[in-house]
Amino acid sequence: MYSAPRNGREATPHWVAARQGVLRLPFCSVTGKPIWPPSSAASNVGGSLEWRDCPGGGTVASFSIVRRPVQPEWNDKAPYVVAMIDLDVGVRILSNIVDCDAESVRIGARVRCMFVETTNPELGLPVFRLDDATA
């Protein structure tokens, strides 16, 4: 089980949707562009945030292999990969790449979103797996 994100903040709809197995991101109602992390940036152009379900494909932009976790609940997952993922919808998010040999991850590799349970039964986490074609 993974540590739960902090509830009651701007990104809560993202975490609630992840628990339901859906990648949901905020988009600006005026420009139609995704905004991550969620913020009042949409209000700069007179818009508001609209939460939309998104496909989960993307590309590894950057990553780091964590060998000594800071949080004790991650000890059994080390080494693990923390990565910046360029989603196909046009936004970059920070997440984990799971279910692979950490040394096999490469910049430019295609990834696909999946979801894991957290210590909060209402919130999930989107994480990524290497696509079979790049694994």
Residue 133: the pLDDT is 58
In a domain, 31, yes or no: yes
SS (H, E, C) 28-80: ECCCCCECCCCCHHHHHHCCCEEEEEECCEEEEEEEEEECCCCCHHHHHHCCE
State which residues form the domain around 21. Answer: 12-130
Number of domains the chain contains: 1
In a domain, 2, yes or no: no
**Residues 6 or more apart whose Cβ sits within 8 Å of residue 133:** 110
In a domain, 1, yes or no: no
Residue 86: the pLDDT is 98
Residue 71: the pLDDT is 83
- pLDDT tens for the chain, 135 residues: list them: 788 887 777 889 999 999 999 999 999 888 899 999 887 666 677 778 899 999 999 999 999 999 999 888 888 889 999 999 999 999 999 999 999 999 999 999 999 999 999 999 999 999 999 997 554
In a domain, 91, yes or no: yes
In a domain, 102, yes or no: yes
In a domain, 7, yes or no: no
